[in-house]
Structure 1
Amino acid sequence: MSFTRLLTLCFFLSLTACGFQPLYAPHNSRHNTSYPIKIAAIPNREGQILRNNLVDILTPEGAPSHPLYLLDITLTEAVISTGIKKDETTSRKEAKLTAKITLKDFCTNKVLYTHSTTAINSFSIIAENYYSDLTAQQYAKREAAGLLAEKIALLIKTYLNSCHED
């Protein structure tokens, strides 16, 4: 075995010795762990989809009986025209969902963590077919809500894991 390979192997073995645990790894023991978080209701259809995705990711074993944290989310949505033709009609739009997240202590209501994150998904517009445009817009918002849920879950998991290491 060459010296470079041996040195690389030693480096990666030392990472596991210092407690390095990737958040994205499927074999991570914390991957399927339920976090003691109550997720507050979010208004509108996209809010329901976002909350349901967060429940599936953060509390896969069901709602905690004694939550330690309250996750409050303010969701704003916008549909923006991005592709404009010469005749000033739109051919492409973006569904943009922005979430302002606030993680609070459940008992004291003290704010522990705040962050804002955005998910964008684009879709095409066919001027002659209103129903397909509406369906494409709904699908784009649903996909953006799923992406936003993954981003929020990663932010919350990172915060909680960093708190427990201290």
Structure 2
Amino acid sequence: MSLSRRTLLRRAGGFGALAVAAALTAACGFQPLYGSSSARAGVSEKLAQVEITNIPNRYGQQLRNNLIDRFYRDGRPTMSPYRLEVGLSATEQKLALRKDSTAERAQLAVVAPFRLIESATGRALFTGSSRALISYNILEEQYASVVTVDNAYDRALVQIADDITNRVAMTLNNSGT
């Protein structure tokens, strides 16, 4: 048997294993969260029924806007059966020092505790916390340094918004409401 035949058989075996894994995954009830099939229909509609409360400070407003972009595809809800309350805190830690003892690298840790609440009863359906760790360089020019820190916050808030959106969507999808 030539080397090319062996390679072809090995690749065919790999594709066969992949097909078996896909079939087993489908058989166990695994479903993508978003999509248009009738089993998954409604996740986007359920997210659109969640009122996102105000989050204090400038970065809180940015996080809320990121969440609004992900939750509301066709406008905000008028009567919301659910309410999402989100907090936000951030800490910066210097990681690397130059010879003159000034910081050269830093890490931003942003934590956002959140609760999904049923509006009618006030009962918490889901409580969680999302966290993002972003490293960035501390530049010597003041304006460039400010822009770098803002960019780090932007990246962290996008990660947190994605995480919160996915976790709330899974909760609403699994709650059977």
**TM-score of the pair, normalised by structure 1:** 0.84
Which 10-residue stretch deviates more, 3-12 or 93-102?
Answer: 3-12
Asked if 1:132 corresponds to 2:156, the answer is no
Distance (whole Å) between structure 2 residues aligned to residue 10 and residue 147 of structure 1 = 33
Q: Any idea what SS the aligned residue of 1:42 has?
A: coil
Which of the residues 74, 83, 106 maps onto 2:87? Answer: 74
% identical equivalent positions: 28
Aligned to 1:60: 73
Which of the residues 17, 38, 44 maps onto 1:33? Answer: 44
Which 10-residue stretch deviates more, 4-13 or 145-154?
Answer: 4-13
Listed as ranges, the matches of 1:149-160 within 5 Å are 149-160=161-172
CA RMSD of aligned residues (A): 2.8
Structure 2 residue runs of 5 or longer lacking an equivalent are 1-11
Residue 70 and residue 162 in structure 1: after superposition, are their counterparts in 2 closer, same or farther (change >3 A)? same
Which 10-residue stretch deviates more, 57-66 or 10-19?
Answer: 10-19
Q: Does the aligned pair in 1 maintain the 2:50–2:83 contact within 8 Å? A: yes
> How many angstroms does 1:5 deviate by?
6.2
Q: Any idea what SS the aligned residue of 1:87 has?
A: coil
Aligned to 2:59: 46
Q: Does the aligned pair in 1 maintain the 2:63–2:158 contact within 8 Å? A: yes
Aligned to 2:22: 12
Q: Deviations over 1:76-130 (max 9, x none)?
A: 0112111222322100112221000011111221112111121121211122x11
Aligned to 1:99: 112
Which 10-residue stretch deviates more, 8-17 or 97-106?
Answer: 8-17
Distance (whole Å) between structure 1 residues aligned to residue 63 and residue 110 of structure 2 = 10
Residue 101 and residue 124 in structure 1: after superposition, are their counterparts in 2 closer, same or farther (change >3 A)? same
**TM-score of the pair, normalised by structure 2:** 0.79
Q: Which amino acid aligns with 1:163?
A: S
Aligned to 1:161: 173
Instruction: Give aligned pairs, total.
Output: 163
Distance (whole Å) between structure 2 residues aligned to residue 88 and residue 112 of structure 1 = 48
Q: Does the aligned pair in 1 maintain the 2:89–2:112 contact within 8 Å? A: yes
Structure 1 residue runs of 5 or longer lacking an equivalent are none
> How many angstroms does 1:32 deviate by?
7.5
Distance (whole Å) between structure 2 residues aligned to residue 31 and residue 89 of structure 1 = 52
> How many angstroms does 1:15 deviate by?
3.9
Residue 123 and residue 30 in structure 1: after superposition, are their counterparts in 2 closer, same or farther (change >3 A)? farther
Q: Any idea what SS the aligned residue of 1:43 has?
A: coil
Name the one with the larger helix percent. Answer: 2
Which of the residues 140, 144, 160 maps onto 2:156? Answer: 144
Q: Any idea what SS the aligned residue of 1:21 has?
A: coil
Structure 1 runs, 4 residues or longer, greater than 3 Å off? 2-11, 13-19, 25-32
